[in-house]
Amino acid sequence: MYKRLFPLFLIPAALFLTVSMAGCSDSEVSAGSRGEETPTSSLTRVETLEMQVSSFEDVITLTGSVEALNDATLSAQASGTITQLVDRGTQVAAGARIAQIDPREEQASLDQLQAQFNLAEDRLERQRPLYQDSIISAIEFEQIQAEYNRTKAALEEARQRVDKTRITTPFAGSVEERFVERGEQVSPGTPIARVVGTNRVRVRAGVPERYANDIQQGTSVTLDFRRYGAGVRKSTVTFTGQAISPDTRTFPIEVELDNSNGRLKPEMVASVRVTRSTFDDALVVPRTAVVRDELGTHLYLASAMDSVHVVEKRDIVLGPSYGEKAVVQSGLETGESVIVVGQNNVAPGDTVNVTQTYTTLDAAGLPYEGPDTEGFGSPEMDSAEPDVTEDAPAQTP
């Protein structure tokens, strides 16, 4: 009797266990169904740039050096002893005397010739009426006139010898170096002093020969002197060399600048940015957004699909680039959204969370500033524009 009742006792328990397990399974299936939509917080976060046409300058960056437009080493033109010499650093005007050679010998000769000339001139004036009245012959008068002309020429030569004892500067500037001292004997050709005038300067730079047909006189150029606190200057090329250096394979260009404030010094180094060409309707992207691999050059786009953003890999052809910007020649259209931050963390077909959309290139590529930014973002781009001074074009004499 006991053996027959035992199975009947277990049946309700088995039924209860089966129903419980079935309910648990339905609950798990329901939870799994609710989890099919991935939460936004778990998606890869990216930032995008909405493509719009903009202007772009194709620029060559060179290194140039500043030179004084007026820089001369003045030499002696006469022999003698240095009796006067200005100090280094002295500011002198054009035509000012910077050194004096003892002029006493030349001055004595000048005084003697001056006396002879005065006598010859007086004799000529007294003999002229006599010749006109035919009291003296033409030959006698010509001899008197010849003596007058000879003493006049000798007097002018003596004056020049005296003038040569004074060493003057042909332009305004500063005495930078002295090569002799007071009391030294000099002869014609001896260097005396170096005078540098910096009211106008020029910047010289060498351009690679491959750009020989891209740069001419009048080409726009920007010169950066910010390392010296002298700002940024805009000007134009004032000279373009025609010969290629066989050693450096470059040709020279020059840019003249006003320097009346004296902030630019000879031998300063300038960053020279020469504009090869300008694009008015280019599609420009940050260079950090460009991905290169063995298959080519690509961009990752975030395309909106059914309220989500899906990653698309787009093959592109790049044009000229400068700094952190590059022109896309083909493969991209206006209005498309290029991933500029987070592009290294996605793959084609991924669903992503677009945390920021930029509409200007200057702002694109800034790192994500929300929470949990570790390992996310890209190098910050400097969008600050320096103060630029427009330099007046040099006047052609």
Asked if residue 198 and residue 148 are part of one domain, the reply reads no
Pick the closest to residue 391 from 263, 210, 277 (CA basis): 263
CB atoms within 10 A of CB 303: 12
Same domain assignment for residues 257 and 290: no
Residue 4 within any structural domain of the chain: no
**Does a structural domain hold residue 261?**
yes
Nearest to 264 by CA among 67, 47, 92: 67
Residue 92, in any domain of the structure: no
Please report the pLDDT score of residue 392 as a whole number: 55
Q: According to the model, what pLDDT value does residue 302 have? A: 92
User: 260 and 198, same structural domain?
Assistant: yes
Specify whether 210 is located in the same domain as 270.
yes
| Per-residue pLDDT, 388 | 66
The CATH number for 149's domain is 1.10.287.470
Shared domain check, 347 and 312: yes
What is the token pair recorded at 307? 């309220």
Q: State the Cα–Cα distance between residues 193 and 169, nearest whole angstrom.
A: 10
pLDDT of 149 reads: 95
Residue 321 lies in a domain: yes
What letter would DSSP give residue 77? Answer: S
Are residues 249 and 210 in contact, defined by beta-carbon separation less than 8 angstroms? no
Is 174 a member of any domain? no
For residue 347, the domain's CATH number is 2.40.420.20
Print the domain residue range for 119.
Answer: 100-167
Predicted local distance difference test score (pLDDT) of residue 393: 52
pLDDT of 235: 93
Please indicate, yes or no, whether residues 354 and 284 belong to a single structural domain of this protein.
yes
Tell whether 106 and 140 lie within a shared domain: yes
Residue 334 exposed, middle or buried by CB count within 10 Å (0-12, 13-18, 19+):
exposed
Q: What SS3 class is residue 354? A: strand
- 36 domain-assigned: no
Shared domain for 321 and 273, answered yes or no, is no
Instruction: Name the domain count of the chain.
Output: 3
Question: Which of the listed residues 358, 375, 390 is the one where a domain comes to its end?
Answer: 358
Are 262 and 220 contained in the same domain? yes
Q: Are residues 285 and 341 in the same domain?
A: yes
- Check whether residue 257 and residue 287 sit in a common domain: no
The Cα 217–Cα 199 span in angstroms is: 22
Residue 48 lies in a domain: yes
DSSP code string of 265-333: -TT-EEEEEEEEEEEEEEEEEEGGG-EEETTEEEEEEEEEETTEEEEEEEE-EEEEEETTEEEEEES--
CATH, residue 201: 2.40.30.170
- Does 266 share its domain with 288? no
Residue 187 within a domain: no
Yes or no: say if 282 and 322 are a contact pair by the CB < 8 Å rule. Answer: no
pLDDT averaged over consecutive 10-residue blocks of the chain (397 residues)? 42 44 42 46 86 87 94 95 95 95 95 95 92 88 93 95 95 95 95 95 94 90 92 94 93 94 92 88 89 90 88 90 86 90 89 88 54 33 50 51
- Give the DSSP H/E element, type plus range, for residue 240: strand 239-240
